[in-house]
Amino acid sequence: MSYGMDTSNSRPLDVSIIGIGQTQVAEHWSVSLRHLALKAIQAALADAGVKKVGALYVGNMTAGTLSHQQHLGAMLADFAGLRGVEAVTIEAAEASGGAAVRQAVLAVQSGVVDLAMAVGVEKVTDMVGSSATMAQTNSMDADYESVHGITAAALGALLMRRYMHEHGVGLADFAGFSVNAHANAEGNPFAMYRRAISVDTYLQAPLVADPVNLFDSAPAGDGAAAVIVCRTERARDMVPHPVRVAASALATDAPAVHDRRDPLYLAAANLAAGRAYMAAGIGPDQLNLLELHDSFTVMVALQLEAAGFAPRGGGWILAGNGDIARQGRIPISTHGGLKARGDAGGATGVYQLVEVVQQLRGTAGRCQVPDPHWGMALNLGGAGGTAVAHVLERLV
């Protein structure tokens, strides 16, 4: 499989993650966006054993619409006691968190910043109903998609129906993705839904947008997560178990699905994953876990195909053959994924990296994958218009 590899990203990144923090994904009705971010920031600072960073990159998608708040970089830096540091907001729809981490990595790699933090934060419950739905369509093409009334769920339904038609699969063939996510979330205290489901429960769920049912679609929630990065040689002296960022890559595709050559091919995910593999010097067969963007079950199948774990049209097979379980060939959604941990919009990519770090540190508790060395986080914006891939390595 070709990943469209770019040799400009081929050298290893001597950057490591030394601190992580997160809040539970939930409906935080009484907690403001700034307080959610503060909790994650303070937790990451404490985990790294530092009091300040040189730069703060904020990943967010909907604050301007739902919280009526822009200028998050300055606001959160000030509120967290970091007034004066470089701080900006990074926006790439649902991939904003992953993009913010990439900016932190690049800042440290450049030598301009010694310590950089990326925090992803989202507060989607400030509005409900059509206002919230409309805000979540901002990742689509406004002129050619959302103007016609299409929603994220409707787009997921169109992709799922097309996938079922082209590859001859039924709804039950996707069940394993949701069952796996919910089973893993039972052990994650930060997850929104910590309850296992059965295949029968999945099949009996009400429809959201035919054929997408309630358990095909990730629930939106409020949350914040943060990571702190520094150069690896310094990281080893600061914390007992730094986790190396072996690769960081970002790629784009047409935001509007109808503008792509093949609606069932996630070109941006393929490019980002391929560039990350090349930079890390590994292939997909060497990864021990994958945190992917399971906003809809069909998107899981498409990402598994794009990232080299299944042939075209074969991603759905992994839902039922045990490969994606914690003991399987490529464990996914090990803390519940978006499906059960909750979809925290622009914070999602940072949550994914926090979870991969926990796995590589061996501190994932009941979610732990056996003895992992390599992990990838694959974060999507929209229906794959942006893809951010990070490969992390356990240092020994």
Query: Residue 335 pLDDT > 80, yes or no?
Result: yes
Q: How far apart are the first and last CA of the chain?
A: 31
Rounded mean pLDDT of 230-236?
96
Instruction: Kindly indicate the confidence band of residue 246, based on its pLDDT and cuts at 50, 70 and 90.
Output: very high
- The pLDDT of residue 127 is 76
Is residue 3 in some structural domain? no
Alpha carbon distance 163, 302 (integer Å)? 9
State percent of the chain over pLDDT 90: 90
Which distant-in-sequence residues (6+ apart) come within 8 Å of 30 by Cβ?
Answer: none
Query: Residue 129 pLDDT > 80, yes or no?
Result: no
- The pLDDT of residue 133 is 73
Which residue, 179, 206, 238, sits at the end of a domain?
238
Cα–Cα separations (whole angstroms), residue 366 to 47, 185, 334, 335, 359:
20, 9, 10, 9, 11
- The pLDDT of residue 13 is 57
pTM higher than 0.85: yes
Same domain, 91 and 191: no
Rounded mean pLDDT of 230-254?
96
Same domain, 209 and 172: yes
Same domain, 213 and 233: no
* CB atoms inside a 10 Å sphere around CB 120: 36
Alpha carbon distance 377, 354 (integer Å)? 10
DSSP 3-state assignment of 101? Answer: helix
Same domain, 107 and 147: no
Which tokens hold the place of 271?
């490019």
Query: Residue 6 pLDDT > 60, yes or no?
Result: no
Same domain, 94 and 176: no
Name the E strands within the chain.
15-22, 55-59, 86-90, 116-122, 207-209, 212-213, 223-231, 243-252, 289-291, 374-381, 386-394
Same domain, 257 and 319: yes
DSSP 3-state assignment of 90? Answer: strand
Query: Residue 326 pLDDT > 60, yes or no?
Result: yes
DSSP 3-state assignment of 69? Answer: coil
Is residue 329 in some structural domain? yes
Strand 116-122, strand 55-59: pairing: parallel
Here the CATH number for the domain that contains residue 372 is 3.40.47.10
Distance of alpha carbon 107 from the chain centroid? 21
Residue that wins the pLDDT comparison between 131 and 352: 352
Is residue 8 in some structural domain? no
Rounded mean pLDDT of 142-164?
92
Rounded mean pLDDT of 31-35?
97
Strand 15-22, strand 86-90: pairing: unpaired
Is residue 113 in some structural domain? yes
- The pLDDT of residue 7 is 42
Residue that wins the pLDDT comparison between 35 and 6: 35
* CB atoms inside a 10 Å sphere around CB 200: 9
CB 125 within 8 A of CB 85: no
Which domain range does residue 343 map to?
Answer: 131-218+245-394
State percent of the chain over pLDDT 70: 96
Is residue 313 in some structural domain? yes
Query: Residue 2 pLDDT > 70, yes or no?
Result: no
Query: Residue 10 pLDDT > 70, yes or no?
Result: no
Q: What are phi and psi of 346, to 5 degrees?
A: -70, -10
One-letter amino acid at 315 equals G
Alpha carbon distance 71, 229 (integer Å)? 23
Rounded mean pLDDT of 60-69?
93
Which distant-in-sequence residues (6+ apart) come within 8 Å of 273 by Cβ?
Answer: 3, 249, 284, 306, 307, 308, 376, 378, 387, 389
Cα–Cα separations (whole angstroms), residue 349 to 246, 299, 357:
16, 15, 13
Which residue, 205, 238, 271, sits at the end of a domain?
238
Same domain, 283 and 231: no
Rounded mean pLDDT of 262-267?
98
Query: Residue 350 pLDDT > 70, yes or no?
Result: yes
- The pLDDT of residue 149 is 85
Instruction: Kindly indicate the confidence band of residue 5, based on its pLDDT and cuts at 50, 70 and 90.
Output: very low
- The pLDDT of residue 105 is 98
Alpha carbon distance 170, 184 (integer Å)? 24
- The pLDDT of residue 180 is 98
Rounded mean pLDDT of 80-92?
98
CB-facing half-sphere around the CA of 393: CA atoms within 13 A: 20
How does the average pLDDT of the chain come out, rounded? 94
- The pLDDT of residue 126 is 81
Same domain, 187 and 323: yes
One-letter amino acid at 333 equals S
- How many distinct structural domains can be found in the chain? 2
Rounded mean pLDDT of 97-119?
97
Same domain, 192 and 291: yes
Rounded mean pLDDT of 107-116?
96
Is residue 205 in some structural domain? yes
Which residue, 208, 238, 268, sits at the end of a domain?
238
Which tokens hold the place of 213?
């049912």
Q: Lowest mean pLDDT: which of 1-15, 126-140, 230-244, 283-297? A: 1-15
Alpha carbon distance 118, 153 (integer Å)? 29
Same domain, 142 and 108: no
Same domain, 118 and 169: no
- The pLDDT of residue 146 is 83
Same domain, 189 and 332: yes
Is residue 294 in some structural domain? yes
Instruction: Kindly indicate the confidence band of residue 11, based on its pLDDT and cuts at 50, 70 and 90.
Output: low
Residue carrying structure tokens 């309630």:
214
Is residue 347 in some structural domain? yes
